């Protein structure tokens, strides 16, 4: 299982680009996944 930090950074490495793919659903899923990963990382680092 990926850590929150790995999940956050995975977004930047694998994001779908709808300009080329036309797949806005995949892009949305990538954005949501990255945001959730970032939120979990922030909560972990700052003990929230």
Q: Give the model confidence (pLDDT) of 14-36 as tens digits.
A: 666 788 788 899 889 888 988 99
Domain count, the chain: 1
Q: Give the model confidence (pLDDT) of 5-15 as tens digits.
A: 666 566 555 66
User: Residue 34 has what pLDDT?
Assistant: 85
Domain that holds residue 24: 4-45
User: Residue 14 has what pLDDT?
Assistant: 60
Q: What does pTM read for this prediction?
A: 0.62
* Across 25-48, average pLDDT: 90
CA distance 23 to 34: 17
Contacts of 33 (CB under 8 A, 6+ apart): 7, 10, 11
């Amino acid at each position: 299982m990926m850590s929150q930090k790995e999940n956050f950074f995975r977004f930047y490495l694998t994001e779908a680009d709808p300009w080329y793919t036309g797949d806005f659903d995949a892009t949305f899923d990538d954005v949501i996944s990255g945001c959730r990963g970032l939120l979990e990382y922030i909560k972990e680092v700052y003990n929230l």
